[in-house]
Amino acid sequence: MSALLEIQNITKRFGGLTAVDDLSFDVAEGEVLALLGPNGSGKTTMMNIISGALKPTEGRITLAGEQITGLPPHRVAAKGVARTFQLVKILPSLDVRENVIAALAFRRDALWGQEAQDEADRLLVNAGLSARGGEMVENLTYIDQKRVELARALASQPRLLLLDEWLAGLNPTELRVGIDLIAGLRDAGMTILLVEHVMEAVRALCNRCVVMNVGSKIADGDTDAVLNDPGVVRAYLGT
């Protein structure tokens, strides 16, 4: 597998605080990689740098060999990076279908009219929302709102999907559904980088994990090996 996303020597300082410290890793095409670490280790900062919400102090990011370092979020999105947020960012005054259609207008080859309708239907089926198209988003269950969020991210036909604690706050039944949904994307070949605290999900979904602690990478490798690494266990337990 070749690298789709390459993170090279990224450092981010906020004044005197180094939130990300010379971090390098890559995400291979078709890989599902977890970015892990205790609170405050720099994961969100790193996701913000990849999506363009923050500019790094130093370092380079390339997507399929093309520099995306420091580009604004809409340009990074146009290059094929889609992101979901921990807070469900949907348009509450629109119904489910309209939310997905609105997202289709942001595609590089923006879809309109019948084409948009057909594509929205396909995305709703894939997200398990075909029976919910006419409902107001605010009336949906939490897992269904998450499905809308995912369908909207996939509307842009991303090459790389960034999931920021997408499974947080789900109950155990919903969690199984959520894991299955992401597993479906993985099996269809989607490249995914996720920040996730639910270890059951990390074990079920990710071939590889990168672990950060105080801004630095402390482990990078096969999921089982990384999660059993004494240094990683220590970082999480803070001993």
Q: Please report, as ranges, the residues that interact with ligand ADP according to CB under 6 A.
A: 14, 17, 19, 37, 39-45
> Of 89 and 108, which has the nearer Cβ to ligand ADP?
89
Minimal distance, residue 161 CB to ligand ADP, in Å: 18
Closer CB to ligand ADP, residue 103 or residue 210? 210
3-class SS of residue 21: strand
Query: Could you tell me the CA-to-CA distances from 184 to 70, 75, 154 in Å, in that order?
Result: 32, 27, 13
Helix intervals (H) in 127-227: 142-155, 172-187, 199-205, 223-227
Task: Give 41 or 84: the residue with its C-beta nearer to ligand ADP.
Answer: 41
User: Which of 46/77 has CB closer to ligand ADP?
Assistant: 46
Residue 103 CB, nearest approach to ligand ADP (Å):
25
- Whole-number Å distance between alpha carbons of 70 and 18: 18
Question: Closest approach of Cβ 17 to ligand ADP, in Å?
Answer: 5
Do β-strands 32-36 and 17-28 pair in parallel, antiparallel, or remain unpaired?
Answer: unpaired
Q: How far is the CB of 109 from ligand ADP (least distance, A)?
A: 34
Enumerate residues 6+ apart whose C-beta is below 8 A from 58. 9, 10, 11, 22
Minimal distance in Å, beta carbon 203 to ligand ADP?
20
Q: Which is nearer to ligand ADP, 45 or 99 (CB)?
A: 45
In the complex with ligand ADP, the residue whose CB is nearer, 70 or 128, is 70
Torsion of CA 24, 25, 26, 32, to 10 degrees: -150
Measure the CA angle with vertex 123, ends 121 and 127; round to 5°.
115
Phi and psi at residue 18, to the nearest 5°: -95, 105
